[in-house]
Chains A and B, each alone.
Chain A
């Protein structure tokens, strides 16, 4: 409606060329006699205030709403960030707790995988060293055997403890119990006879050496060396053998 009014003023001011164009407008304002143009008055105040009030309100509301939105968003963002900081802190704590657990378990595994633990546990289970590999010869039908037996077959653990000690194994209850048990079985006391493992192998080795010397009498020096000197015998002053 107000557009029609402006258009009508325009028509009056510019003349009749556009009259036909604005016929519809003219007809419209003919419906509204209060705003009928007075041909004698060329200037009059436009009813602008009522025209501009409505858009301003919308803009204001929009602006305020936008501002409120920004503030709310800022607030939300801050809340989320600080919430994130707490989450981060909590997750960091959880991560270090899990890292501690991992480390504790890794330590357990490393100690359980140590050669000493494996050896003592195998002894405990009654396991023996495996047979050496046999080798097939491509040329013939025979298998070539691996090496012979070791001369020294002693358990990893005796009453004096482990030959290759590991202080960390004391924290393993099962091994600690085994060590304690072996120690108690033959607790040494003053004047006790040495168990077979201590004296016998030495004697056996001497016997072996003696037998070997007898077998190869032509190497006199070796035979003489092989025989263990009796107690009190002076060792030869010359070096080597």
Chain B
């Protein structure tokens, strides 16, 4: 009996242990299933949320550099100083990592000392924000902190201050090339190269995800990085030193002439731009300081009726067609009328015995009309088209004008005549400089090039696609025309024009400006300009300088010293040796043989 009881007790114990074991096991299985299957997703997400961190890696927007690598635009790191107004509090030693008590006021005094703000203003901003929303967690106290200010604020160790990275664009050379480089808005490029080359310059953000330990250190092996791709670098063909000096001269002459604006273009004869200067100009570091109309580039956007500097092209077209010869003898009165048309020279003069070359040098409207009697208007349109008029230049500048060519044959007779001396037809300064480029390049017009290339983050260079060049006039015509224009510099009556020892070809122009509403010409508004090519024996540069509405000197004589100085500057900068060939000697006048 005792043995039996003992056995049954032991059996019961075994059973109980078994039941308990199974119960425990069942509990664990249920719990396991619950965690691993039923709530797995939610728990995983929560765990990842606690440990997993995802950071956006910002790429750097690419720089814009000149042909020598001088940085005209680059991106730099700047920081915004933000605070949590509701948590601004005094810091106590022991609780916070400070050695002695630091009140909010003291902290603001220190921050103000770093950012240059008045601590009272900062305090007022915090009070105002708390007034608006007592639970406010965000207020930007200061922006644009540079690296030194960032480190100084960070070293204060104030827990309610948060510094947020906010990269910004700076233009170390200021307004040097400012009209070309353009500028950025808050996020987007607004003007110039910044806008037209955004595809090259823009960076692509990357991402870094990792699990972090309790103290924020990335857990080894959990880091997954998708690197950011920095933007490419845009290289321009301009030379920042020349650009600066041409801008300086343009600004000084604009100021001296009391003109509304001045524009100068320096190009190489291969079509690459050396400098485009505007006055007034824009400093891209502070674009709002410039008036809206001064923030672009008038060289590309301000088409006007060019006047006399256009005569070069109609004269060259007639010479190329064999309609005229340089020494052709003409008798030129100062007025012309016929078939309801009427043309006058700028000033009255007796009947002059000028050669065709003399007509161009003395810039006679009547002479041009008489020479152009045989010129077919369709042929002339073809020439103008090949010179690049009527279409945008290959640069494709933001806001660039094309000014389509009209069918010259369909114009009224008066305008048909006016086109010969640059009225009734409009062009941008860039189109004019580009057409002079053809004259300096042996008659072959090459596309204007402002962007030398885009170098991406991996160092691969992409050159811009440019249309092929086009022959406009024969090499002989181009050379002959430049030789005639050389006489403008030496024989036009300005001793401020020539530079001794150098053969320079140029044409002056005093253009009338039409009223904006098209009701005729504004008698108080003139555009004075000089365009030229030098050295004539081996043309290298094209220079165009123009001033809108000068007040002190209202004829092209005002622009001649500016042209002289720009040519002078280029000779000095590039050490151009004096011409070795004798100056041209084309007869400008003729005398009738005495019977």
| Interface residue ranges, A against B (CB under 8 Å) | 81-82, 84-86, 89, 97, 100-101, 103-104, 107, 110-111, 113-116, 119, 129, 132-133, 135, 144-152, 154, 156, 163-169, 198, 201-202, 205-206, 208-209, 211-213, 215-216, 218-226, 228-229, 234-241
Cross-chain contact B220 with A81 (CB below 8 angstroms): yes
A-B residue pairs in contact (CB < 8 Å), sample of 24: A100-B150, A111-B172, A113-B70, A115-B176, A129-B572, A145-B578, A148-B568, A152-B249, A166-B173, A166-B174, A166-B283, A167-B283, A168-B170, A168-B171, A169-B174, A202-B553, A208-B494, A209-B553, A211-B495, A219-B492, A239-B307, A239-B365, A240-B422, A241-B510
- B277 to A: closest C-beta gap in Å: 9
Q: Which residues does chain A contribute within 8 Å of B255, judged by CB atoms? A: 163, 198
Which stretch (B122-130, B193-201, B339-347) binds chain A?
A: B339-347
Q: Which residues does chain B contribute within 8 Å of A205, judged by CB atoms? A: 256, 496, 552-553, 557-558, 561
Cross-chain contact A219 with B493 (CB below 8 angstroms): yes
Cross-chain contact B219 with A221 (CB below 8 angstroms): no
Known A82-B220, A151-B496, A222-B492; contact A163-B251, beta-carbon cutoff 8 A: yes
Known A135-B577, A147-B572, A154-B252; contact A236-B347, beta-carbon cutoff 8 A: yes
User: Residue of A at shortest CB range from B520?
Assistant: A237
Q: How far is the CA of A35 from the CA of B552 in the complex (A)?
A: 139
Cross-chain contact B552 with A202 (CB below 8 angstroms): yes
Q: Which residues does chain A contribute within 8 Å of B245, judged by CB atoms? A: 115
- A203 to B: closest C-beta gap in Å: 8
Q: Which of A111, A132, A211, A224 contacts B347 (CB 8 A)?
A: A224
- B495 to A: closest C-beta gap in Å: 5
The answer to whether the Cβ of B500 comes within 8 Å of any Cβ in the partner chain is: yes
- B253 to A: closest C-beta gap in Å: 7
User: Residue of A at shortest CB range from B422?
Assistant: A240
Q: Which residues does chain B contribute within 8 Å of A208, judged by CB atoms? A: 494-496
Instruction: From A104, A206, A236, A240, name the one whose CB has the most chain B CB atoms within 10 angstroms.
Output: A240
Cross-chain contact A115 with B244 (CB below 8 angstroms): yes
- B102 to A: closest C-beta gap in Å: 24
Cross-chain contact A147 with B568 (CB below 8 angstroms): yes
Which stretch (B15-23, B39-47, B71-79, B383-391) binds chain A?
A: B71-79
Known A110-B74, A219-B492, A221-B349; contact A116-B147, beta-carbon cutoff 8 A: no
- A205 to B: closest C-beta gap in Å: 6
Chain B contact residue count (CB 8 A cutoff): 95
- A236 to B: closest C-beta gap in Å: 6
User: Residue of A at shortest CB range from B575?
Assistant: A133
Cross-chain contact B71 with A110 (CB below 8 angstroms): yes
The answer to whether the Cβ of B421 comes within 8 Å of any Cβ in the partner chain is: yes
The answer to whether the Cβ of B508 comes within 8 Å of any Cβ in the partner chain is: yes
Cross-chain contact A151 with B561 (CB below 8 angstroms): yes
Cross-chain contact A202 with B257 (CB below 8 angstroms): yes
Known A202-B256, A208-B496; contact A241-B423, beta-carbon cutoff 8 A: no
Q: Which residues does chain B contribute within 8 Å of A82, judged by CB atoms? A: 220
User: Residue of B at shortest CB range from A222?
Assistant: B493
User: Residue of B at shortest CB range from A96?
Assistant: B77
Q: Mark B542-579, 1 if CB is under 8 A from A, else 0.
A: 00000000001111111001101101110110010110
Q: Which residues does chain A contribute within 8 Å of B247, judged by CB atoms? A: 163-164
Q: How far is the CA of A110 from the CA of B75 in the complex (A)?
A: 12
Q: Which residues does chain B contribute within 8 Å of A226, judged by CB atoms? A: 493-494, 555, 557
Q: How far is the CA of A165 from the CA of B331 in the complex (A)?
A: 52
Cross-chain contact A89 with B508 (CB below 8 angstroms): no
Q: Which of A97, A100, A147, A164 contacts B176 (CB 8 A)?
A: A164
Cross-chain contact B491 with A114 (CB below 8 angstroms): no
The answer to whether the Cβ of B499 comes within 8 Å of any Cβ in the partner chain is: yes
Known A168-B171, A205-B561; contact A240-B146, beta-carbon cutoff 8 A: no
Q: Which of B171, B256, B421 contacts A201 (CB 8 A)?
A: B256
Cross-chain contact A225 with B285 (CB below 8 angstroms): no
Q: How far is the CA of A111 from the CA of B176 in the complex (A)?
A: 12
Q: Which residues does chain B contribute within 8 Å of A97, judged by CB atoms? A: 151
Cross-chain contact B500 with A107 (CB below 8 angstroms): no
Interface of chain B residues 324 through 359 with chain A (CB within 8 A): 343-347, 349
- A185 to B: closest C-beta gap in Å: 18
- A145 to B: closest C-beta gap in Å: 6
Cross-chain contact B509 with A240 (CB below 8 angstroms): yes
Cross-chain contact B175 with A166 (CB below 8 angstroms): yes
User: Residue of B at shortest CB range from A102?
Assistant: B147
Given A212-B496, A240-B509, A241-B510, 16 other A-B residues pairs in contact with their CB atoms under 8 A: A84-B220, A103-B76, A110-B74, A116-B176, A144-B501, A150-B569, A163-B279, A166-B176, A168-B174, A168-B285, A212-B495, A218-B589, A221-B345, A225-B510, A228-B554, A239-B511
Cross-chain contact B493 with A215 (CB below 8 angstroms): yes
The answer to whether the Cβ of B584 comes within 8 Å of any Cβ in the partner chain is: no
Q: Which residues does chain A contribute within 8 Å of B175, judged by CB atoms? A: 164-166
Q: Which residues does chain A contribute within 8 Å of B362, judged by CB atoms? A: 219, 221-222
Instruction: From B241, B345, B493, B554, name the one whose CB has the most chain A CB atoms within 10 angstroms.
Output: B493
Cross-chain contact A166 with B495 (CB below 8 angstroms): no
Q: Which residues does chain B contribute within 8 Å of A169, judged by CB atoms? A: 174
Cross-chain contact A144 with B496 (CB below 8 angstroms): no
Q: How far is the CA of A211 from the CA of B510 in the complex (A)?
A: 21
Q: Which residues does chain B contribute within 8 Å of A84, judged by CB atoms? A: 220
Q: How far is the CA of A225 from the CA of B423 in the complex (A)?
A: 19
The answer to whether the Cβ of B240 comes within 8 Å of any Cβ in the partner chain is: yes
Q: How far is the CA of A81 from the CA of B561 in the complex (A)?
A: 74
The answer to whether the Cβ of B518 comes within 8 Å of any Cβ in the partner chain is: no
Closest 3 CB pairs of A and B: A166-B174, A110-B172, A222-B493
Instruction: From A215, A226, A236, A241, name the one whose CB has the most chain B CB atoms within 10 angstroms.
Output: A241
Instruction: From B174, B349, B423, name the one whose CB has the most chain A CB atoms within 10 angstroms.
Output: B174
User: Residue of A at shortest CB range from B344?
Assistant: A238
User: Residue of A at shortest CB range from B254?
Assistant: A163
